[in-house]
Amino acid sequence: MSFNEKFDQHGVWRREFALRLKLLAEWMKDHDLLDAAVEEQLRRLESQVRSDKVMVAFVAEFSRGKSELINAIFFAGYGRRIMPASAGRTTMCPTELGYDVDVPPCLRLLPIETRLQKQALMEWRVVPEKWTRIDLDVNDPAQLARALEKVAEVRHVTQDEARALGFWHDNNPEDNPRVGPDGLIEVPKWRHALINIAHPLLKQGLVILDTPGLNAIGAEPELTVSLIPQAHAVVFILAADTGVTKSDLSIWREHLITEGDGTETRLVVLNKIDTLWDALSTPEQVQAQIDKQIATSAEILGLPRSQVIPVSAQKGLVAKVTGNEALLQASQLPALELALGQGVMGQRQKILRTAVAGGIGELKTEAGRAMHIRRRDLAEQMIELRSLRGKNVSVIKHMRSRIEQEQAEFDTSGAQIHAVRSVHLKLLRDVFNLLSTPTLKAELAELTHALKQPGIKLGVKKAYGKTFSRLREGLKKSQLLSGEIQSMLTASFRQLNAEFSFSLQAPKEPELIRYENDLELIKRSHLKYLGISNVLKLSQAEFSERLVRALATRLRMVYESALGEVELWNKSAASQLDAQLRERRRNFGRRLEAIERIQQAASGLDERIAEINDQEKVLNELDAKLMELTSHLLGAPSLPSTLQDATAATPNAALTEAA
């Protein structure tokens, strides 16, 4: 299966999942099983699957054919070249292609001058009015291609301006761009481009990142420390005729080497194999040349040969546009698409499904608990009613006053439950604090200070190390506190269970330690970035400023996820208490009502017992149905029979609506 097909299949699964989740939510609502924690869990699952994005980044030195390859893999359907690809430097700014329903098809461009301000790229993303917008007509490929030419636009500025924008460095002149005869320097006109089009793959959550060459990547720290490391796959492109050049190697070392796992998410493409096709050589001789280039490139990059894929993007594009099957095979593009499909999509699907399975498990536990309480209440009522069989009026009366007394006692115990809640919240506040934005900001203060010092900063690595070990300490402390809260909850719940025969169970605290891993990855991407060739750049205040900003935004994302987990945990504990209180109050009502009926008519008792029997049956059915609905959610992408029935008339309409 090619990448595109695999991605399509992934999309079908996600749409079905969303539909099934919606059905489950409605069903739970109908049966009064939707408490706050369940609702939150459902919301999370839905947004996790709906907003799941797969980012594929194309990274290489200029003119290796990144844009052409994107055209060939994703846009051949438009019948022409869509992304500008031409000799020399073409793509001047990082270009992200994706789809957001809430935004009309358009190209948004962030002016390069925004670099003079301190906001990080992530922060600019949320202020669309600061971007230049050009509407796109997806039905007019020529207009589309014309509009996209903007990403190649340049400006000519003085040396001072170029320096301020981060394109001129006095201390490593060999990297500086050429000065024109007029003394001006060519710089990109735009800092970042966002393309929003309803392309089928983009609609399903694919995000493509096209990047400019070496020095341009380095100029935007966010690209190096955030976008590229977070991409699910990176395609690194070499040219078959030149092999690995010095600057290819710098990009590879600086931006793409990942330690440990993750090598399957790095794909190396040996592009332009058509330049080796030659009428004077036999096909075997050509193949031998390609093989030799693969072997050398793999060796230099330290990869197995199987991970270097030969291809001709240009011939692949031409073949697809003209429908030339022989040329398509010769371009070897299908083999690359296959590798992308297996590697990237296979991985992504596995990860998403595992995450989703965890969420569904918790959902089942939450809903199961509500049913358990109901079942137990029914059983107790049954015992109570059976004990009334053949008893006289005064016994029944006595029973009534006993229930009323129990109810009154229970009502006064509200304070005790309230106390547990407030202790819980108070303790939680400390955890929230530890993971809050102000805390994070304070932790970063020292590093910010170190980076802001004028001149070359030899102590920066040390400052990074210290900052990250403090952040790790913070996480450890949050984990410790969470553990203490869990013990407190367990003890309080046990006490409440004993006193009121509740069946509360303290939910397991989140594993915040997990986020240490994220911290480690962030730290590594920063240190790697600083280590190689950027130490000199650090002497520039603007560069350091941008670096800290990029770091802060990335860390904030990690901390927000951690906070989200703590919140869900809190909701689960609170909603258990609420649910048991509510059920208990209802239970008193039902018991009193039963006594009333028994007092009014002799047949009342038997009728009520029969009713309880029925309710038990209904509960068993609910239980089975819950199992069924949740296991469907975990299943393979094919509609189960019940859903097929429900959507048989207009299956597509139902799916589209759910999506």
Ligand X SMILES: Nc1nc2c(ncn2[C@@H]2O[C@H](COP(=O)(O)OP(=O)(O)OP(=O)(O)O)[C@@H](O)[C@H]2O)c(=O)[nH]1
Interaction between residue 150 and ligand X (CB under 6 A): no
- Those residues whose C-beta lies under 8 Å from the C-beta of residue 201, and which sit 6 or more positions away, are 4, 7, 8, 74
Least distance in Å: CB of 95 to Mg ion? Answer: 8
Place of tokens 């891993």: 517
Query: What angle is formed at CA 446 by the lines to CA 440 and CA 450, rounded to 5 degrees?
Result: 135
**Site residues (CB under 5 A) for Mg ion, limited to 54-73:** 66-67
Q: Kindly tell me which residue out of 114, 226, 312, 575 binds ligand X, with binding defined by CB under 6 A.
A: 312
Interaction between residue 314 and Mg ion (CB under 5 A): no
- Comparison of 242 and 405: residue with beta carbon closer to ligand X: 242
- Comparison of 268 and 530: residue with beta carbon closer to ligand X: 268
Gap between the Cα atoms of 580 and 420, Å rounded: 14
Place of tokens 């031998």: 288
Least distance in Å: CB of 235 to ligand X? Answer: 11
Q: Out of ligand X, Mg ion, none, which partner does residue 549 contact, by CB within 5 to 8 A per kind?
A: none
Interaction between residue 91 and ligand X (CB under 6 A): yes
**Site residues (CB under 5 A) for Mg ion, limited to 319-378:** none
Q: Kindly tell me which residue out of 2, 41, 90, 381 binds ligand X, with binding defined by CB under 6 A.
A: 90
**Site residues (CB under 6 A) for ligand X, limited to 205-244:** 212-213
Q: Out of ligand X, Mg ion, none, which partner does residue 86 contact, by CB within 5 to 8 A per kind?
A: ligand X
- Those residues whose C-beta lies under 8 Å from the C-beta of residue 219, and which sit 6 or more positions away, are 166, 167
Least distance in Å: CB of 318 to ligand X? Answer: 10
Q: Out of ligand X, Mg ion, none, which partner does residue 65 contact, by CB within 5 to 8 A per kind?
A: ligand X
Q: Out of Mg ion, ligand X, none, which partner does residue 161 contact, by CB within 5 to 8 A per kind?
A: none
**Cα–Cα distances in Å, from 107 out to 75, 160, 188, 619?**
16, 30, 16, 54
Question: Which SS3 state, helix, strand or coil, does residue 241 take?
Answer: coil
Interaction between residue 63 and ligand X (CB under 6 A): yes
Nearest in space to 201 (alpha carbons), one of 81, 345, 82, 63? 345
- Those residues whose C-beta lies under 8 Å from the C-beta of residue 127, and which sit 6 or more positions away, are none
Gap between the Cα atoms of 247 and 231, Å rounded: 22
**Cα–Cα distances in Å, from 179 out to 111, 168, 184, 486?**
22, 10, 6, 64
Gap between the Cα atoms of 604 and 612, Å rounded: 12
Residues 245-284: x where in contact with ligand X by CB under 6 A, - otherwise, as a string: --------------------------xx-xx---------
Least distance in Å: CB of 440 to ligand X? Answer: 35
- Comparison of 220 and 509: residue with beta carbon closer to ligand X: 220
How many other CB atoms are found less than 10 A from the CB of residue 178? 6
| Pairing verdict, β 132-135 and 154-157 | unpaired
Nearest in space to 482 (alpha carbons), one of 523, 511, 453? 511
Place of tokens 């609170």: 574
Q: Kindly tell me which residue out of 2, 4, 91, 314 binds Mg ion, with binding defined by CB under 5 A.
A: 91
Interaction between residue 494 and ligand X (CB under 6 A): no
Question: Measured over all CA atoms, what is the biggest interatomic distance in the chain, rounded to whole angstroms?
Answer: 112
Least distance in Å: CB of 138 to ligand X? Answer: 21
Least distance in Å: CB of 74 to ligand X? Answer: 13
Q: Kindly tell me which residue out of 314, 482, 540, 587 binds ligand X, with binding defined by CB under 6 A.
A: 314
For residue 272, the one-letter residue type is K
Least distance in Å: CB of 270 to ligand X? Answer: 10
Interaction between residue 65 and ligand X (CB under 6 A): yes
- Comparison of 265 and 271: residue with beta carbon closer to ligand X: 271
Least distance in Å: CB of 232 to ligand X? Answer: 20
Residues 384-403: x where in contact with ligand X by CB under 6 A, - otherwise, as a string: --------------------
Interface with Mg ion by CB under 5 A: which range of 28-36, 82-90, 222-230, 569-577?
82-90
Give the pair of three-digit tokens for residue 506: 């303290």
Dihedral sign (CA 60, 66, 67, 68):
positive
Least distance in Å: CB of 88 to ligand X? Answer: 7
Gap between the Cα atoms of 227 and 577, Å rounded: 42
Gap between the Cα atoms of 625 and 231, Å rounded: 39
**Site residues (CB under 6 A) for ligand X, limited to 323-362:** none
How many other CB atoms are found less than 10 A from the CB of residue 610? 10
Q: Kindly tell me which residue out of 267, 313, 512, 562 binds ligand X, with binding defined by CB under 6 A.
A: 313
Phi-psi region of 74 (alpha: psi -120 to 50; beta: other; left: phi over 0): alpha
Q: Kindly tell me which residue out of 19, 59, 60, 197 binds ligand X, with binding defined by CB under 6 A.
A: 60
Site of interaction with Mg ion (CB under 5 A): 66-67, 90-91
Site of interaction with ligand X (CB under 6 A): 60, 62-68, 85-87, 89-91, 212-213, 271-272, 274-275, 312-314
